[in-house]
Structure 1
Amino acid sequence: MQIEQYRDALLLLMVGIAAVNDLATRRIPNRLLLAGLAGALLLHALSAEPGVALLSACGGMLLGLAVFLPFYLVRGMAAGDVKMMAVIGFFTGPAEAFQIAVFTWCAGGVMALFLILLRSRVRLAFVNIGHLLSGLIVPGTKLSDTTLPQSAGSMPYGLAIAFGTIAALVTHYG
C-alpha cells in the first residue's frame, strides 16, 4: 500500500470519528484533530518527496482554513468545523481541499434543507435570509447589525464535512 492510500485511510478514519462525535456531542475534539494532523505530518514526511508533500499540506491547510473561517466569523459555523477543514486540507493539499469544501457545502445545504423542513422552520429560514440580504443591500450596514432575531436551527456540520470528504475520495479513486 502506498503512502497516499494510508493517508486517505487515516483521513477517512478521522472524519468518520469526528462525524459520529459531532452527532453525539455537537463537538469535534481537538485531540482528534491533533492526532490526525500528527498522522498526516508523519505520512507526508515518509512520502517519496517530503518537501513537496509538506509544502502542499501547508497550502491545503491554509486553503481549508480560509474557505471556512468567514462562516465562523459570521457565527454560521463552529470553530471545530473550521479546524477540521484546515486539518483535512493538511491531509490533501489545496486542490483536493477545495474540492472537499465544495462537496461539503453541497452536503451541508442538503442537510440544512432537510432539517428546516423536518423542524417546520421554512418561514423562519426565509425571514432570516431576507434579514441577511437586507443587511447587504442597505449602505452603511455593518455585519454586526445583521444579527438574526432567532436561529432556524443548528446542525452537526462535521457530518457534512465527512460526506464531502468521502465524496471527494470516491471521485479520486473512481
Structure 2
Amino acid sequence: MPIEQYLETILLLLVTSAAVNDLATRRIPNRLLLAGLASALLLHLLSAHPGASFLTALGGMGVGFALFLPFYLLRGMAAGDVKMMAVIGAFIGPEDVFVVAVLSWCAGGVMAVLMVLWGGRLRLRLVLGNLGRMLSGALVPGAGIAPVGRESAGSMPYGLAIAIGTIAFLTRH
C-alpha cells in the first residue's frame, strides 16, 4: 500500500477519534494530536521523496495553524481545534489544508445555524451580541479583542465540523 493510503487512513481515524472526543467532552486530547502528528511526519519521511514530502508536511502544518489561529485569538474557537487543523495540514499539505479549512468552515456554519435554531430566540440574541463584540474587537484599530459577554450562547464541538470537512475532502478524490 502506498504511503498516501496510510496517510489518508490514519487521518480518517484521527479526525473520527477527535470528533467523538469533542462531542463527548468538548476537548480534543493533546495525546491524540501528538500521535497523529508523529504518524504524519514519520510517514512523510518514509515516502519516495522524504525531503520534499517532509517540507510539504511542515508547510501544511503552518498553513493549517495560521488559518485557524485568528479564530482562537478572537475567542471563537478552542486551542484544540487550531492544533487539530495544524495536524491535518501535516498529513495533506498546504494547498489541501486550505480546502479542508473552507469545507470545515462551511460545516461549522451549518452546525451553528442549527444550534441557534434549536436554541430559539434567546440563543439568537446571545449569538448576535457575542458576534458583534468579537467583530468590533477585530475590526476597530487599537481596540484589541473585545471581551466576550458574561453569558455564552453555548459551545460547539468544532472538532466535528473539522472532521466533516476532512472526510468530505478525502472522499471527493
Common fold: TM-score over 0.5: yes
**Residue 105 of structure 1: SS of its match in structure 2?**
helix
The residue that corresponds to 2:158 in the other structure is: 157
Q: Deviations over 1:27-63 (max 9, x none)?
A: 1111111111111111101111011100000000000
The residue that corresponds to 2:72 in the other structure is: 72
Query: Partner amino acid for 2:6?
Result: Y
Structure 2 residue 120 is matched with structure 1 residue 122: no
| TM-align CA RMSD | 1.7
Percent identity between the aligned chains? Answer: 63
Kept after mapping to 2: 8 A contact 1:81/1:158 = yes
1:113–1:52 CA distance, 2 compared to 1 (3 A): same
Which ranges of structure 2 fall in alignment gaps of 5 or more residues?
none
The residue that corresponds to 1:143 in the other structure is: 144
In the TM superposition, 1:53-132 aligns within 5 A as 53-120=53-120, 121-132=123-134
- More divergent stretch after superposition (142-151 vs 70-79): 142-151
Q: CA deviation at 1:145?
A: 3.4
Q: Distance in 1 between matches of 2:133 and 2:6?
A: 46
Q: Distance in 1 between matches of 2:152 and 2:5?
A: 41
Query: Partner amino acid for 1:157?
Result: Y
The residue that corresponds to 2:32 in the other structure is: 32
Which ranges of structure 1 fall in alignment gaps of 5 or more residues?
none
1:147–1:13 CA distance, 2 compared to 1 (3 A): same
1:33–1:133 CA distance, 2 compared to 1 (3 A): closer
The residue that corresponds to 1:46 in the other structure is: 46
Query: Partner amino acid for 1:86?
Result: A
Q: Distance in 2 between matches of 1:5 and 1:23?
A: 27
Query: Partner amino acid for 1:159?
Result: L
Query: Partner amino acid for 1:143?
Result: G
1:41–1:135 CA distance, 2 compared to 1 (3 A): closer
Q: CA deviation at 1:143?
A: 2.7
Kept after mapping to 2: 8 A contact 1:116/1:153 = no
Structure 2 residue 7 is matched with structure 1 residue 7: yes
